[in-house]
Amino acid sequence: MSTRKKIHIAGIGLISPLGSGLEETKLSLKKNISAITPLNSSVFQARQSPPLPVGQTGTATTSPLPRTHTLAIKAAQLAMKGITATPDAVIIGTTTGGILHTEELLTGEVTDPLQYRHHALNSVAEEVAEMLHCSGPALTVSTACSSGTVAISMALKMLQSGQAEYVLAGGVDSLCRLTYYGFHSLQLVDPTGSRPMDVERQGMSVAEGASLLLLTCDKTPPSLAQVLGCGLSCDAHHPASPHPDGKGAMEAMQKAMTNGAIQATDIDYINLHGTGTPDNDIAESKAIMALFPVPPELSSIKGATGHSLAASGAIEAAIAALCIREGFVPGNTGCLKVDPECGLSPTLLPQQYPVRTVLSNSFGFGGNNACLVIAANDYPAPSPVQSHPPPLTILGKACISGAGHTESSMGRFSQLEAIAGVLNAKILAKDLPVRSVRRLGRFSKIAVAIADAALRDSGQQNSPDSVFMGTGWGALSETCNFLDKLRESDEKFSSPLDFVGSVHNSAAGQIAIIHKATGANITSSGGDYSFEQALLAANNFLDDSSSGAFLLAADEAHSKFSPLFDPSITAETPLADGGGGFYITRKAIPGRISIQLSFLRRYQETTLTEMIKAVTAKGPTEKECAMILAGIPAADTSDGEKQLDIFMRQAGLDIPVIHYRKFTGEFASASSIAAIMAVHLLEESVVASDRKILVLGFGKYLTAMEFMYQ
């Protein structure tokens, strides 16, 4: 029988413009100072003056690693100080990864791919996991400005369900040209500094920072507070603007309180998302007034810190714990006269105030909303969650490859012909509504086309309410276009459309808008294992009450960026892209095929043995398993082949093995097409209906997905 679990905050690593660590942050908050100042050239030299006001940390840049990685590692060291346990998983939300370093390399016209090895978003989590000797998953969440909060939410789910005992989770982003000029191009930057809720506010201040929380269900380490609940939603309204009535924000707040078994009247303080942009502050205010007849104490700290994007929610979660420990509420720095249209009365100056519960809000591009409830240690834990949920059921499937859409791709695969390549843009978008996708780049068109086709294949009348997506590299076209235009114009011009489209969660946001999917919306970026990370997210957040979810992964080929960023692609490698996805539900349906993630861990010497146990736990494997689809990225060919050979020998298997990348070509989301292959083989009765197909990943990670009839 499940028991209630308190999820303790055992350690906090906090770096922001206000200082390093909890004590420096507390002193700065109590002084009500703003750390927003004109951009310092120590980060990068802006070619246009005067420089915009930003929130900049005092972190030195002597490390050879990119700035984002350096911030994350320092935050991890602070969080783990005095803790002897090793995290079972590392989950980091980020939007920038190594982009600042990439910008400098591109400016210098560097063409050595090795120099770009830290560009990928997932490289941040992997560096932290390597430093901490974590052999479990190193997961990367990229949901724009809610990324850090979503990462903590993921950790909460994993701990509550018994998947881990210690998880290091949070967010990190550094300043870079992409975000500095990108938000300015949207006219969302206040030239005098962020003033949330002020009647004369003009926008936000881009910032940087890192906050990582060590969460655990172990009672042994001293606990600063507990994470009581989380709530995710999507506006499904606009790529960059919030729903004007704050509907998505309200839903996320309500879900967080329901998940934490707490009432609105029990909240002592609301840490506002409060960016200082006119639309965001109004929308959040409407959501709060709809939920709280008498709002509690509330304030935004972004007038003090600036908006550190993916790190902001994690920084505010850390400050929520600080407020509980110290019994105080931060002031709404920068606000001199409250906008009466907001209808709220923020706490303008810091004050001592007993705080036992905090609702912390984070809202991002694509309508990605995430909220947390942080509570004092003596607060009762919510009801237990199901520790072993049933596998996810597949209602519809779809894929896109160089050979075409699902029917063409699987037809070629059935003949054992390669399906690699880059599909013609007109064929790619042939079934998409022109008005909905005319401004979308290739990456988003691939994703939207997969989701639409999976819905049609399902035969369902209604779209699912959630989206779980994986991508290794995101929108390469928009990123390249933005940076090229910026560089060619001597930083005088930047494209707002390319900036909005460049975020990794842009495609999932478009799917939500088109299908009115207002549930959880999570984009995972785990390199060659991005689809598996999306499946892990779906397994943790999709429940019986949901109408279902799109589960997919996609990547686009880019002639300039793919050979620079992806170690499996050289200048001579034929470009390939595409992806695959499903319409899934949590409900078990006899006669339908299920998908289950059985294993996902970083490779170490003992990991293969653990993987074998995970996929052979139900009995003699060959009586269950008919076939293996094996994925080995080209960059890991030598190690991956050895791992596969050891797996087959130790598991005692003598069954067909298909190396699916020989068919799909080299691109990060290839395993999502392998998942479609597995379902296709089962549906075509290539294997017996009482046996399963394994899709295994080898290389830096070992992964296992199981497909079988229920």
Most confident region among 48-52, 174-178, 239-243, 429-433 by mean pLDDT: 174-178
**Separation of alpha carbons 286 and 280, rounded Å:** 10
**Separation of alpha carbons 303 and 307, rounded Å:** 8
Question: How confident is the model at residue 387, as a pLDDT?
Answer: 66
* pLDDT for residue 4 is more than 80: no
Question: How confident is the model at residue 697, as a pLDDT?
Answer: 98
**Separation of alpha carbons 143 and 137, rounded Å:** 19
CA-to-CA separations, 670 to 527, 581, 660, in angstroms, rounded: 10, 11, 8
CB 509 within 8 A of CB 522: no
Tokens (6 digits) for 58: 């005092």
Q: What is the mean pLDDT of residues 689-710?
A: 96
Q: What angle do CA 492, 147, 131 make, to 5 degrees?
A: 100
218 pLDDT tier (thresholds 50, 70, 90): confident
**Separation of alpha carbons 148 and 364, rounded Å:** 11
**pLDDT tens digit string along 449-462?**
999 999 999 999 99
**Separation of alpha carbons 542 and 631, rounded Å:** 26
Contacts of 479 (CB under 8 A, 6+ apart): 178, 498, 502, 561
Q: What is the mean pLDDT of residues 494-506?
A: 95
Question: How confident is the model at residue 631, as a pLDDT?
Answer: 98
b/e per residue, 78-108, with b = 16+ CB within 10 A?
bbbeebebebbbbbbbbbbbbbbbbbebbee
Domain 594-709 has CATH 3.40.47: yes
Domain boundaries of the chain, sorted by first residue:
8-375, 392-585, 594-709
**pLDDT tens digit string along 532-590?**
999 999 999 998 888 899 999 999 999 999 999 999 999 899 999 999 999 999 999 99
Burial of 545 (0-12, 13-18, 19+ CB in 10 A): exposed
CB 325 within 8 A of CB 55: no
Helices (H), 108-174: 122-131, 147-160
**pLDDT tens digit string along 638-688?**
999 999 999 999 999 999 999 999 999 999 999 999 999 999 999 999 998
**Side-chain-side CA neighbours of residue 619 (13 Å):** 6
Average of per-residue pLDDT values in the chain = 95
* pLDDT for residue 319 is more than 90: yes
> Which of 377, 227, 252, 305 is closest to 20 using CA atoms?
305
Q: What is the mean pLDDT of residues 399-404?
A: 98
> Which of 206, 224, 274, 273 is closest to 17 using CA atoms?
206
- 446: three-class secondary structure by DSSP: helix
Question: How confident is the model at residue 619, as a pLDDT?
Answer: 54
| Candidates 3.40.47.10, 3.40.50.150, 3.90.420.10, 3.90.1300.10; CATH matching 392-585 | 3.40.47.10
* pLDDT for residue 108 is more than 70: yes
Q: Do domains 392-585 and 594-709 have the same CATH topology?
A: yes
Residue tagged 């019986």 (tokens): 544
Count of all residues that appear for the chain in the document: 710
CB 262 within 8 A of CB 380: no
**Separation of alpha carbons 283 and 159, rounded Å:** 32
CB 313 within 8 A of CB 171: yes
> Which of 297, 309, 305 is closest to 359 using CA atoms?
297
Q: Considering the chain, what percentage of its residues have pLDDT values greater than 70?
A: 98
Tokens (6 digits) for 167: 């998880």
Question: How confident is the model at residue 61, as a pLDDT?
Answer: 66
Q: What is the mean pLDDT of residues 32-51?
A: 93
CB 207 within 8 A of CB 314: no
Give the pairing of strands 404-405 and 657-659.
Answer: unpaired
Contacts of 9 (CB under 8 A, 6+ apart): 213, 214, 215, 223, 224, 225, 226, 227, 321, 374
Max CA pair span of the chain: 74
Question: How confident is the model at residue 545, as a pLDDT?
Answer: 84
Q: What is the mean pLDDT of residues 151-165?
A: 96
Q: Which of 118-127, 138-147, 310-319, 384-393 has the lowest mean pLDDT?
A: 384-393
* pLDDT for residue 1 is more than 50: no
CA 577 to chain centre: 21
Neighbours of 495 (CB within 10 A): 18
CA-to-CA separations, 232 to 149, 173, 467, 561, 604, in angstroms, rounded: 9, 21, 11, 33, 34
CA 434 to chain centre: 29
What CATH fold (topology level) applies to the domain 8-375?
Answer: Peroxisomal Thiolase; Chain A, domain 1 (3.40.47)
Question: How confident is the model at residue 240, as a pLDDT?
Answer: 87
Residue tagged 């978003």 (tokens): 121
